[in-house]
Structure 1
Amino acid sequence: MEDTFDPYLVEESSSAAAAFPAKDPDHGWQKVTYAKRQRRSSNAADPNRHHPNGLPHAGDSSHVFASVEQKALERRRALESATAVAVVAEAGTTAPRSRPAAATSDDEDDDSGAEASRGGQENGEAAKKVKQKKPKKPKVTVQEAASKIDAGDLGAFLVEVSVSYESQQDIQLMRFADYFARSFAPVSGSQFPWTKMFKESPVSKIADIPLCHISESVYKTSVDWISQKSTDALGDFVLWCLDAILSDLASLQAAARGSKKSVQQSPAKAQVAIFVVLAMTLRRKPDILINLLPTLRENPKYQGQEKLPVIVWAIAQVSQGDFAIGMYLWAHFLLPLICGKLSGNPQSRDLVLQLAERILSGPKARPILLNGAVRKGERLIPPAALDLLMRASFPSPNARVKATERFEAVYPTLKELALAGSPGTKSTKQASQQLLPAAVKAMQENNPELTREAADIFIWCLAQNPDCYKLWEKLHLENMNASVAILQKLSSEWKDYSTKLSPPDALRETLKHLRAKTRRMMDSSAPYVILGVLYAYLLSLSWTPDTLRMMFASKYWLPELPGIAKMFANEMTLASAWIHLLAVDLFAARQVFDDGLKNKVETRHSVSLCLFFCPIGIATHAITKVLTKMSTQSH
């Protein structure tokens, strides 16, 4: 800014200096002043410098930004009031952030403050701006927000919604969820970290979240209203809730991985409301999830290790409403997951086993489950699930894991549920016909514990359904080891099984048929015919003119050792020799078995040795006959 002199003041000073030279201590020098600055000071001190309408005079430059500052202050107050109204009015949506607006108004304040500061500096005064911190909003917990929900107000709201949207139940359910979204709007995401809770907390704890904070009166009002809605509308509503939760889960995981992919995310404060309304719906109408079971199985949206805790939580809500339906969903959906796709994941096994243990440990759970062991013709524990449980509870010794003991603990009760029912009923017959082949297959796996358990289930099938005896006859020849294991168990524990298999006429007839089939197989010449044809074919391939010349190279047409060695170096010749030995061993084993039946001598070890090396098997059989005869004579 240029400094200007007032000529009138300078002239006046000069004349004064000439008139009073003796009295002037400054010797005629006059102090230089700035006219503009003086005019500003005088204007600032003048209280009547404004027009009657409140605006400053045109020449008043000291407060030229006063109107701008006033408008900025008004805008800021308007934005703050709009923000407060939006927080209360908007249901289930994130309140508009006030930070950008505040920043804008702060910038305007900074501009006006800077102008005022410049004016102060020109007057020689440094004006310092003091920023006031906004008071922090108090954090509201889920429990505090839930305690403010009034059952009477909720009931009146639901009545109004039911009347307004009488024929649109889907909109009614959305408004129902919207009511709770408004109620939990003050709750921040940090007060409900559901992903962390589901990951770190046991099933027994997460099963009650967040309904443990809802009052009994609010819960009763809600579930009574839910019970009046149709199954289709509730099914769509449950899927909508699950989709919202899984969408929020996907967005959180993407944020944790630093992914730039945008995912539609529900506000964190709305998640509390979604969990609340979903839990109340599943507890009041647990059979809804059974209707949705095909969707959960087929749609990849609901599959995966990271989504399993949400599904387990949902089934836990169902089990709170109905033990039997909860166990049905566990056996039909969760158990195949941990025995199939997620079999190698210990966390998944732990979650699923926790849910089973929670259901079975409930008050009067066993009688309730046994009462509903068969639901609309379907068993709570289907035969396929019992087969999975049996293999998980009785694995081979080198395949045992930490969860094996927990499977063993729940197996007896679950087996009782799988085999529950009156003999001869339709469901029991169907279960026995499905279980018998699975038991036969399990007995072929060379696992003693599994074989004993499978044999017990096999005998249960015989006791429940006479048709299983015919099925046994069909499977006998292809599964001789299984038949042997069953007969051994029957002979060793006949006292226990005699009452279950009474009258034993069907068993007696079946044993006769099995013996006849075994005899026909042993008397049949078909194996020898097949081996003979195969032997002749290989022999024709190996005995070529070149082979004959090597064998009979001497003039006397006698085989020589070098020629024999060259001949057996041929793969075809070696294979034909092996077939020949196998035919001889099989014939010897057959003869040993027949001789054992006639003389009532144990032949299993002798037959095995015959198939390994014929002479040793025959010698062993002879020794066994002698020892058996001596033992019989001594007794």
Structure 2
Amino acid sequence: MIEENSASVVYNDLVMEKVKKTKLNVVEAAAKINSSELVAFLLDITERYDTKQEIQLMRLADYFGAAFSKVSTSKFPWIKILKASSVAKMADVPLSNLPEDVYKVSVDWLNHLSSEALGSFILWSLDNLIDDLFLHQGATKRSNKVVQQATSRSQVAIFMVLAMILRCQPDVLISLLPILKENPKYEGEDKLPVLVWLIIQVCQSDLVDGMFMWAHFLFPKLKSNFISDSSTDLILQVVEWIISFPRARAILVNGSVRKGERLVPVSVLELLIRVAFPDLSARSKATERFQAVYPTLKEVAIAVTPGSEEVKHITQKIMMFTIKAAGEGIPDLSQEASDLFVWCLTQNPACCQQLDNIYLEHLEGSVILKKLSDEWKTISYEHPTLDTLKESLRNFPVKVIVVHKNGRF
């Protein structure tokens, strides 16, 4: 981890001016940063701390901290900004204020650092922001560990450096996913705006990585029975924003598998179908919004190469939750679950045998057989090779077929 004490001493060649009575806003302070001086500074610290990249990153944070030292908390009330902003507006906070040449110099340098050093800096920065959040909330319980607390006016610098790292090396945040999931310090709805800000920085350069973080980290938070409407809205805003990007659908479908992991795993598809098609009594303002993003997310979730080994695994998993969902007596959920079930049968002939094996254990899912019966002509026309399915349906016990008045195949 980063040597936190090293951040307490500002780099010797970095001269901080005395804070004048007149404060600057973020735009004014950013405009004063000289890219040529920054280049010289980066070359110097790279040579001075050749094998200590974590210290190099802390020095960069010091540099920006000095540059933004005249920006008071009132000029950058980051907690208020994140809570009050839509995801679209949050995306450029505060990086849009940084001159392009300064951004390019910084990113070119950051791209040469290791993922380990960048990951450590991300966690250090996130911990500082959370500590600052606790202070503003008036928290009385503090950790026994002594953590260097960045001053309020240096939060601009932390956000600047974090945003640049996440945009030039977005996969670093995914490498931290186990820590973000397992460490309780990152739980709680009060942390959500900060975590969302991290993820939307990733989206700015890589939609696939951004969607991965949404599906594997943000969206599962909806399983909590205590999540507020405002948090649900924020989580929805992220995915709505992602799929609004030009060519987002094609990018996400083509990137449906990331380094061997599904972008939208079956477990997420199962949760998604339930929040998009709930019982009438459970509908909310968010329901229609989930239904709007559902088709794109479903397409990403079931994007597979026909006949591949992956098809077998996915279809078998989807079959198990859809046959249960189809029998829960919720019309819209039943319809969508049945459609997914039929898709499994058309993609994987082995599912027909699996249907034989599991059907009697899930008689509540008989609505699926009725759908097959009612729509057999259409299904068989679109999928003329379904002889195995046709034979399986003929072989069902008579007492099962009787359930379906139109059960003639």
**TM-score for the superposition, normalised by structure 1:** 0.59
Structure 2 residue 389 is the aligned partner of structure 1 residue 507: yes
Task: Report if the CA contact (8 A) 1:463-1:500 is conserved.
Answer: no
Structure 2 residue 260 is the aligned partner of structure 1 residue 377: yes
Q: CA offsets, 1:182-227, max 9 Å, x none?
A: 1111111111001111111111111110001011111111111111
Aligned partner of residue 246 in structure 2, secondary structure = coil
Task: Report if the CA contact (8 A) 2:266-2:314 is conserved.
Answer: yes
Q: Structure 1 residues 234 and 227, CA, compared in 2 at 3 Å: closer, same or farther?
A: same
Q: Distance in 1 between matches of 2:374 and 2:334?
A: 15
- Give 1:346's aligned amino acid: D
Aligned to 2:206: 322
Structure 2 residue 102 is the aligned partner of structure 1 residue 218: yes
Aligned to 1:455: 338
Aligned to 1:139: 23
Aligned to 2:185: 301
Q: CA offsets, 1:429-483, max 9 Å, x none?
A: 222121110101111211111111001001111122222222212211111231x
Q: Distance in 2 between matches of 1:603 and 1:334?
A: 44
Structure 2 residue 169 is the aligned partner of structure 1 residue 292: no
The 5 Å alignment of 1:415-454 reads 415-454=298-337
Displacement of 1:495 = 4.2
Aligned to 1:414: 297
Aligned partner of residue 74 in structure 2, secondary structure = helix
Displacement of 1:300 = 0.4
Aligned to 1:167: 51
The 5 Å alignment of 1:333-352 reads 333-338=217-222, 340-341=223-224, 344-352=227-235
Q: Structure 1 residues 499 and 421, CA, compared in 2 at 3 Å: closer, same or farther?
A: farther
Structure 2 residue 276 is the aligned partner of structure 1 residue 393: yes
Displacement of 1:260 = 8.4
Aligned partner of residue 442 in structure 1, secondary structure = helix
Aligned to 2:36: 152
Q: CA offsets, 1:250-282, max 9 Å, x none?
A: 111116xxx486996320111000000001101
Task: Report if the CA contact (8 A) 1:305-1:342 is conserved.
Answer: no
Structure 2 residue 81 is the aligned partner of structure 1 residue 193: no
- Give 2:184's aligned amino acid: P
Q: CA offsets, 1:128-182, max 9 Å, x none?
A: xxxxxxxx71120011000111111111111111111111111111111111111
The answer for unaligned runs of 5 or more in structure 2 is 1-11
- Structure 1 consecutive aligned stretches of length 4 or more whose deviation exceeds 6 Å: 260-263
Aligned to 1:353: 236
- Give 2:152's aligned amino acid: A
Aligned partner of residue 190 in structure 1, secondary structure = coil
- Give 2:217's aligned amino acid: F
Task: Report if the CA contact (8 A) 1:462-1:501 is conserved.
Answer: no
Task: Report if the CA contact (8 A) 1:337-1:343 is conserved.
Answer: no
Displacement of 1:90 = 5.5
Q: Structure 1 residues 435 and 343, CA, compared in 2 at 3 Å: closer, same or farther?
A: farther
Structure 2 residue 149 is the aligned partner of structure 1 residue 272: no
RMSD: 2.5
Displacement of 1:421 = 2.1
- Give 1:432's aligned amino acid: T
Aligned partner of residue 138 in structure 2, secondary structure = helix
Q: Distance in 1 between matches of 2:225 and 2:330?
A: 24
Task: Report if the CA contact (8 A) 2:53-2:117 is conserved.
Answer: yes
Displacement of 1:508 = 2.0
Task: Report if the CA contact (8 A) 2:34-2:102 is conserved.
Answer: yes
- Give 1:152's aligned amino acid: S
- 493-502 or 462-471, larger mean C-alpha shift: 493-502
Aligned to 2:245: 362
- Give 1:475's aligned amino acid: I
- Give 1:387's aligned amino acid: E
Q: Distance in 1 between matches of 2:191 and 2:324?
A: 34
Q: Which has the larger radius of gyration?
A: 1
Q: Structure 1 residues 201 and 498, CA, compared in 2 at 3 Å: closer, same or farther?
A: same
Task: Report if the CA contact (8 A) 2:31-2:99 is conserved.
Answer: yes
Displacement of 1:341 = 1.9
Aligned to 2:6: none
Q: Distance in 1 between matches of 2:284 and 2:355?
A: 34
Q: Structure 1 residues 496 and 244, CA, compared in 2 at 3 Å: closer, same or farther?
A: farther
Task: Report if the CA contact (8 A) 1:319-1:325 is conserved.
Answer: yes
Q: Distance in 1 between matches of 2:333 and 2:248?
A: 28
Q: Distance in 1 between matches of 2:121 and 2:197?
A: 17
Aligned to 2:4: none
Aligned partner of residue 71 in structure 2, secondary structure = coil
Q: Structure 1 residues 499 and 163, CA, compared in 2 at 3 Å: closer, same or farther?
A: farther
Task: Report if the CA contact (8 A) 1:226-1:281 is conserved.
Answer: yes
Q: Distance in 1 between matches of 2:67 and 2:334?
A: 59
Displacement of 1:603 = 11
Aligned partner of residue 502 in structure 1, secondary structure = coil
Q: Structure 1 residues 275 and 491, CA, compared in 2 at 3 Å: closer, same or farther?
A: same
Task: Report if the CA contact (8 A) 1:154-1:218 is conserved.
Answer: yes
Displacement of 1:401 = 0.6
Q: Structure 1 residues 460 and 252, CA, compared in 2 at 3 Å: closer, same or farther?
A: same
The answer for unaligned runs of 5 or more in structure 1 is 1-85, 97-135, 523-592, 605-635
Q: CA offsets, 1:84-126, max 9 Å, x none?
A: xx9x8459xxx89xxxxxxxxxxxxxxxxxxxxxxxxxxxxxx
Displacement of 1:312 = 0.5
Aligned to 2:196: 312
Question: Which structure has more RCO (C-alpha within 8 Å, separation ≥ 6)?
Answer: 2
Task: Report if the CA contact (8 A) 2:370-2:406 is conserved.
Answer: no
Tell me which of 353, 360, 363 is aligned to 1:480. Answer: 363
Aligned partner of residue 204 in structure 2, secondary structure = helix
Q: Distance in 2 between matches of 1:155 and 1:342?
A: 51
Aligned to 1:184: 68
